């Protein structure tokens, strides 16, 4: 029997994050990113009427995929949770989740290896997870103070640009 859920043991943060992710998949930005990666064309059919085909192009490897629900993922170029910093707060998470369309791309996300290669989304996620794990180790070793590491200010080899409200 599952334990009774109370206010003390309810994981509010993870519940809200899960709901925000679901809302993101229903927002116009998500569909716009998929539309940018969509290639549709017509092929002749047996009955003479052309049939429409739709494929999605992976922004990383350039391969085309048919089934949008199984083989592609709309991904943030700059991760929602910066692996060098970690989770900050819900406001930051929400702001980075519902970002500008130029920070979104479509990556292949197939289940098994294809031609001996993992999907681009899985590779990117694995790299980010590794960086996040190292960051957590450093935080633990330094007592949650990352100011001693120079890597905390970089992301993917690039220095992050801090934007003030006047820059926007």
Containing domain of residue 76, as a range?
Answer: 16-157
The reply to whether 164 falls in a domain is no
The reply to whether 42 falls in a domain is yes
- Mean pLDDT for 73-101 is 94
Euclidean distance between CA atoms 48 and 25, whole angstroms:
37
The reply to whether 112 falls in a domain is yes
The reply to whether 166 falls in a domain is no
CB atoms within 10 A of CB 26: 8
The reply to whether 162 falls in a domain is no
Euclidean distance between CA atoms 154 and 142, whole angstroms:
18
The reply to whether 32 falls in a domain is yes
Euclidean distance between CA atoms 143 and 122, whole angstroms:
31
Q: Token digits for 96?
A: 């980075």
Return the DSSP state at 109. -
- Mean pLDDT for 100-115 is 89
The reply to whether 107 falls in a domain is yes
Q: Is the pLDDT of residue 110 over 90?
A: no
The reply to whether 78 falls in a domain is yes
CB atoms within 10 A of CB 105: 20
Confidence of residue 160 (pLDDT cuts 50, 70, 90): very low
Q: Token digits for 131?
A: 């960086």
The total number of structural domains in the chain stands at: 1
- Mean pLDDT for 122-135 is 94
């Amino acid at each position: 029997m599952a334990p009774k859920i109370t206010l003390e043991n309810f994981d509010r943060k993870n519940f809200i994050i899960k709901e925000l992710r679901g809302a993101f998949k229903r927002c116009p930005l998500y569909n716009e990113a998929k539309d940018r990666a969509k290639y549709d064309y017509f092929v002749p059919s047996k009955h003479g009427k052309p049939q429409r085909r739709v494929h999605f192009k992976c922004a990383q490897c350039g391969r085309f995929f048919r089934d949008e629900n199984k083989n592609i993922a709309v991904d943030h170029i700059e991760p929602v949770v910066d692996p060098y910093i970690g989770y900050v707060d819900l406001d930051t998470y929400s702001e980075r989740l519902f970002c500008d369309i130029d920070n979104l791309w479509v990556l292949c996300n197939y289940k098994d290896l294809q031609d001996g290669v993992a999907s681009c989304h899985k590779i990117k996620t694995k790299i980010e997870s590794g960086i996040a794990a190292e960051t957590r180790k450093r935080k633990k070793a330094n007592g949650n103070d990352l100011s001693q590491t120079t890597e905390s200010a970089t992301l993917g080899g690039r220095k992050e640009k801090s934007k003030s409200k006047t820059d926007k």
